Structure 1
Amino acid sequence: MDSCVRALIGSCVKLLVGSSGFQAEGPPTQSYRPSFLDHIASINKKRGKNRLVFMAVENRPKISPHALPPAESATFLESSFFSRNGPGTELPSPANVREQGTVQDPTSKDRDFSFQPVRYEQLGLIVKYGRAPQVTVAEGQLLWALRRVLPTVPVPEVYGWTHDNGQVFIYMELVQGVTLEQRWESLDRVERIEICEQLRVMILELRKLQHAPGDFFLGHINREPLGDIVFTSNNCPPAGPFLSVAQFHDWMEIVIKTGIRHHWPGKELSEIPDPYRNSMPDDAEVVFTHADLHPSNVMVSEDSPSKLLAIIDWRQSGWYPDYWEFWGLLQGSLSRRLQTAAHHRHQASLEGVIDFSSPSDPLSPADLALARLTFNRLLDHCEPIQNNKPYKKATLVRLMHEHSRAEEVYLQKFFLYLGSENGGGGSASSASGVSKGLARFAGFDASNPNDVKKDAESAVDAFANYLFDNFFLPCMVDHRESKIYYHVSDVKASGLLTPQPTPASLSAPLLENVVGTPSRLSTLRRDCLIRDHYRCVATRAFDEDEAVRRYDRDGSEAKDDEDRPLIESKDSVEHLEVAHIIPHSLMSTDSKQQLSDSKKSAIAILDMFAPGVIHEIEGANIDRPTNAISLRYNVHRQFGSFKIHFESMDPAAYPPHTYRVNSAKVGSTPFLPSWLPVIRTFYLSPNCTIDPPSPRLLDIHRSCAVILHLSAAGEYIDQILRDQEEPYIPSDGSAHLGHLVSLKLSGWF
């Protein structure tokens, strides 16, 4: 769940940081929507970068380190703890806290550094204690200040703090609720969006804070060093306080160079190149930042609708560059934060650049949530205004998402594409590419300026074209045009059908031992006909060649595999073909036994439907019975054109391998077979020696059929093929011809 909320929180923060990763700071008003660009007062150009700057507001709350309570010890007798628990009540002593801590967490007695907070349920109290940097008085001072100068930011009330034996004890309100991490899965979409909106408002409020006049710095609230865990857990020198953003970035440069110094033996730090320093925005605004907006640090109510109660764990907070909150949500290490701080935009060709292999690390729950929210917002904007010609691109992207068996994989690859398209210029591997894609559009909504919306529309269209050109078009053309095994030869140049291989003799070797495509296909047709009882799995028509063979052998006594007289089937005897479920040429290689880049892209897109499915069809598996069915010629054409599909029936109500043969076009055209829809139970081979068709592959085929129909991409491909057959070139035929030439060059047929 971590990325779920983290992602949505990230989108809220993204609203404050513009596409370049720098903050766009707004005036203090509750009326802000997710985009604040309507309130921009001016655009300053500094260091050659465009920055968004809002008009200054004089009445913004300010915090001065000099106004904070003393760090040594403090007890706030006016707090609700004392009014609620009555006069004479005292805060538990450090000794009592340690004792209760041992009871609540027996392992704490073996530690001297970091401890679980101790809960006093009856007192409505929780005590956070430990040694710096895990626990510092600065957190207590911040809670005290926020409750007074910025009460719109929900934080626990602090009751006091003290020191004992080198440890800090912070006494604060026990918030009666649950973490967003615990609550997230039970929230519906509306509640999730509402929580995100509340977080957005909270972040806006927090960013109203200003330094006291003449007291500018980057550091903790009390001028202590910054406490981000990437600094405190990596043996870094104290992170500040710094007097400028440039000074902060210079310090990070030293830290980075020190960390890689072993790669440069004998070199001084000044001689070691820093790959990030030139990308660090020294002109970034400085804003107050939580720096750890993890879902476990967001407290919400248990009732419905759930409400934001408090943000907890402020130990890493402080004055940071404005991009820090957002990048902190997306990245898990200092180096990754710095890599993504450089957000250069330029178009570049994606051929051979994007690595669409499955990312080695799954999205954190928060990143996944950000991906979901951003994806939905992009499609909610793009789909209603899309141009339906030549096909509905946004609809195709949305339907792919809906039909994916692994949403996370699809979203990763969607944002990897957007990140690579926008970042270009080098290999965009999974982690950095996905982060760039999320950063590019996190926080997007319909109130963004027109240029941002146009960018979103172009990005969604580009991804749709990627799916169309590299998967849907090749699959349909392959099913209908391939001269390899059963369709029109050489892009319909001759107009003649390529005959299917003759079935291998029953004494032929098993499929595992067949070498070479012709032998594999011949054996595949034999096995499918045997398994399917020589009948079309959709119409039940009997194979003409087999009927003649049996009649020649047995005369009028000839029977089918169910021991019924064949003479009764004379009106339903047809030539049958073997139809691949996933196209055969997807796995066909060139003369060097290599897959083309286009086919690698198609395989990557196929993996979006069902990760791991590639293992069912890789290599010779593409020609196994699990990926093929026996069909009558005209039904084969309709199946190959995704006009008909097989929908699995509920196994609790129907026998295994039962399907509804149907069409996504039912009701929209009268020119469909009259027998549709029909329910069929697949036959099994004698003794089940030949595998049945794969339900997963049939389900992918069904998804493709639905997507092609609802997005109108199928009609567009039909038009491309129809135009290619005409003796003249239509007005837009050059584009269609380009599609087919590209497929030909990529080895599809």
Structure 2
Amino acid sequence: MTALPSVEKAEELLPREPRTPLSVYRTFVLPAEEAALNLAKHQNAQTRVIQARVIGYLLLYPPSPQARMMLAREISSCSGWEAVYDLGAKYIRHFIILFRKSRGKTPVPSSHPSRPSFAHDVRERLQDLQRAPLDHSSAKVSALARDNYRCMVTGRVDTPSYLSGLTSLSPGEIGGYSNCCHIFPDSLANIVPGAAGPKEQDAVTVWTILKRFGYEDICEELGFASTSANLHRLENIMTLDVIVHEQFDRMNLWFKAIDGQDNTYKVVLAPAVGGLARLVAIPEQVTFVAHRPELPLPSPKYLRIHAACCQIAHLSGAAEHLDVIFRDMEELKVLAQDGSSADVLTYALHHRWAAPV
């Protein structure tokens, strides 16, 4: 967790014209952080500090200029610090947490059918590759072909694909197990048509935030929480080694675009998992290449939103906060009588809708 920068430092990040973002940062955000810090041992003090910092860092490092202006207007309408904290809570629950997926304690590779049936299934599907696969299985097959049956980050050969004869090992290459990784989670399509329950409301809230942030095109591409939602389009899919996938889903690994170089990214690791680079041979920089030109690569725009949420989560302390909550959701049997488990209950109820499709 990192304290919000001073107004002088913020001036280097916030545009001078219009001055609304800098003004609300000075008038609302920094005082809200200070007020939360002064709560001392208050039960919710730490949570409120995180909420204020989420708002501050979202203002400083937004996924888009329109997101910054929209957030500045929301902050300026707050009537008191509690409203600022509530706004921070909203963005944690409906935006930041979108990319924090829980997959249990051990990474599990996407399952493959038996060797002969898998190879037959793949070859059959490769005869009619779709630009927008309709399900997880089709997306994995198409992404594997696009990515040359290798992890897009480590370059490790997908072992089931090798055993099925779909690819070969060059000298020095090693195998591994890869997963079909969604940038925007496929749980956004996990809604009942015509229903208006909590999971539908949560999904619609996510899409609404994206639209207000200037991403109407993403809402259209991914389905805007409708019966035609297509989270399996290849622009939303990556082939990743199971360990890389796990860290990507835990918001500990993200991709920062390098200016002037198409589909080239700096691979950013959170400080807590920095040693993973040596253990799994994660490079500092990657360039994504479509080995089948007709199949689109992951969208830079999708990756930019994921990267912004990861950066904000770690700077604000929300990442560690969510780690504790997700751990407690798995381990706690009974809620604490003093109310200290309130966050766990809130996120557990909210997270019900995000179960895998």
TM-score of the superposition, structure 2-length normalised? 0.76
Instruction: Report the alpha carbon displacement of residue 496 of structure 1 after superposing the two structures with TM.
Output: 9.2
- Check conservation: 2:234, 2:298, Cα contact below 8 A: yes
Cross-structure match for 1:537: 152
Inter-CA distance 676–735: structure 2 relative to 1 (3 Å threshold): same
Inter-CA distance 576–406: structure 2 relative to 1 (3 Å threshold): closer
Cross-structure match for 1:738: 346
1:472 equivalent in alignment to 2:135: no
Q: C-alpha separation between the residues in 1 aligned to 2:283 and 2:214?
A: 26
Which of the numbers 495, 506, 515 marks the counterpart of 2:123? Answer: 506
Inter-CA distance 400–578: structure 2 relative to 1 (3 Å threshold): same
Which of the numbers 221, 225, 229 marks the counterpart of 1:616? Answer: 221
Look up the equivalent residue of 1:692 and give its one-letter code. L
Instruction: Report the alpha carbon displacement of residue 608 of structure 1 after superposing the two structures with TM.
Output: 5.1
For each residue in 1:92-145, what CA deviation from the matched residue of structure 2 results, as whole angstroms up to 9, or x when unmatched? xxxxxxxxxxxxxxxxxxxxxxxxxxxxxxxxxxxxxxxxxxxxxxxxxxxxxx
- Check conservation: 1:406, 1:609, Cα contact below 8 A: yes
- Check conservation: 1:626, 1:694, Cα contact below 8 A: yes
1:382 equivalent in alignment to 2:32: yes
- Check conservation: 1:662, 1:677, Cα contact below 8 A: no
3-state secondary structure, aligned to 1:673: helix
For each residue in 1:185-206, what CA deviation from the matched residue of structure 2 results, as whole angstroms up to 9, or x when unmatched? xxx99xx99xxxxxxxxxxxxx
Cross-structure match for 1:604: 208
Cross-structure match for 1:706: 311
Cross-structure match for 1:690: 295
For each residue in 1:210-255, what CA deviation from the matched residue of structure 2 results, as whole angstroms up to 9, or x when unmatched? xxxxxxxxxxxxxxxxxxxxxxxxxxxxxxxxxxxxxxxxxxxxxx
Larger Rg: 1
- Check conservation: 2:133, 2:139, Cα contact below 8 A: no
Cross-structure match for 1:393: 51
Instruction: Report the alpha carbon displacement of residue 609 of structure 1 after superposing the two structures with TM.
Output: 4.9
Instruction: Report the alpha carbon displacement of residue 501 of structure 1 after superposing the two structures with TM.
Output: 6.5
Q: C-alpha separation between the residues in 1 aligned to 2:23 and 2:328?
A: 40
Structure 2 stretches lacking a partner, 5+ long: 1-10, 38-44
Cross-structure match for 2:168: 559
Inter-CA distance 413–398: structure 2 relative to 1 (3 Å threshold): closer
Instruction: Report the alpha carbon displacement of residue 722 of structure 1 after superposing the two structures with TM.
Output: 1.0
Inter-CA distance 501–621: structure 2 relative to 1 (3 Å threshold): farther
Look up the equivalent residue of 1:539 and give its one-letter code. T
Look up the equivalent residue of 1:403 and give its one-letter code. Y
Inter-CA distance 735–399: structure 2 relative to 1 (3 Å threshold): closer
- Check conservation: 2:236, 2:302, Cα contact below 8 A: yes
3-state secondary structure, aligned to 2:246: helix
Q: C-alpha separation between the residues in 1 aligned to 2:31 and 2:138?
A: 51
For each residue in 1:463-520, what CA deviation from the matched residue of structure 2 results, as whole angstroms up to 9, or x when unmatched? 00111122223431xx22xxxxxx45xxx8xx895844657523334436865xxxx2
3-state secondary structure, aligned to 1:629: strand
- Check conservation: 2:132, 2:230, Cα contact below 8 A: no
- Check conservation: 2:112, 2:160, Cα contact below 8 A: no
Inter-CA distance 396–640: structure 2 relative to 1 (3 Å threshold): same
Q: C-alpha separation between the residues in 2 aligned to 1:620 and 1:669?
A: 34
Inter-CA distance 601–702: structure 2 relative to 1 (3 Å threshold): same
Q: C-alpha separation between the residues in 2 aligned to 1:462 and 1:576?
A: 39
Inter-CA distance 730–673: structure 2 relative to 1 (3 Å threshold): farther
Inter-CA distance 514–371: structure 2 relative to 1 (3 Å threshold): closer
Q: C-alpha separation between the residues in 1 aligned to 2:154 and 2:46?
A: 35
Look up the equivalent residue of 1:742 and give its one-letter code. H
Cross-structure match for 1:324: none
1:627 equivalent in alignment to 2:236: yes
Look up the equivalent residue of 1:543 and give its one-letter code. D
Look up the equivalent residue of 1:507 and give its one-letter code. E
- Check conservation: 2:235, 2:296, Cα contact below 8 A: yes
3-state secondary structure, aligned to 2:276: coil
Residue pairs, 1:439-458, within 5 angstroms: 455-458=79-82
- Structure in which a larger fraction of residues adopt helix: 2
Cross-structure match for 1:373: 23
Inter-CA distance 457–725: structure 2 relative to 1 (3 Å threshold): same
Instruction: Report the alpha carbon displacement of residue 640 of structure 1 after superposing the two structures with TM.
Output: 0.4
Q: C-alpha separation between the residues in 2 aligned to 1:660 and 1:521?
A: 27
Cross-structure match for 1:588: 190
Which of the numbers 145, 162, 179 marks the counterpart of 1:577? Answer: 179
Q: C-alpha separation between the residues in 2 aligned to 1:501 and 1:637?
A: 18
- Check conservation: 1:403, 1:609, Cα contact below 8 A: no
Higher relative contact order (CA 8 A, sep 6+): 2
Instruction: Report the alpha carbon displacement of residue 726 of structure 1 after superposing the two structures with TM.
Output: 1.9
Which of the numbers 248, 252, 272 marks the counterpart of 1:639? Answer: 248
Look up the equivalent residue of 1:577 and give its one-letter code. N
- Check conservation: 1:724, 1:733, Cα contact below 8 A: no
- Check conservation: 1:404, 1:608, Cα contact below 8 A: no
Inter-CA distance 706–610: structure 2 relative to 1 (3 Å threshold): farther
Q: C-alpha separation between the residues in 2 aligned to 1:548 and 1:513?
A: 27
- Check conservation: 2:107, 2:242, Cα contact below 8 A: no
For each residue in 1:38-62, what CA deviation from the matched residue of structure 2 results, as whole angstroms up to 9, or x when unmatched? xxxxxxxxxxxxxxxxxxxxxxxxx
Q: C-alpha separation between the residues in 1 aligned to 2:324 and 2:168?
A: 44
3-state secondary structure, aligned to 2:191: coil
Instruction: Report the alpha carbon displacement of residue 399 of structure 1 after superposing the two structures with TM.
Output: 1.6
Q: C-alpha separation between the residues in 1 aligned to 2:83 and 2:138?
A: 45
State how many pairs are aligned: 316
TM-score of the superposition, structure 1-length normalised? 0.38
- Measured on the aligned residues, the alpha-carbon RMSD in Å equals 3.3
Inter-CA distance 692–707: structure 2 relative to 1 (3 Å threshold): same
Look up the equivalent residue of 1:581 and give its one-letter code. I
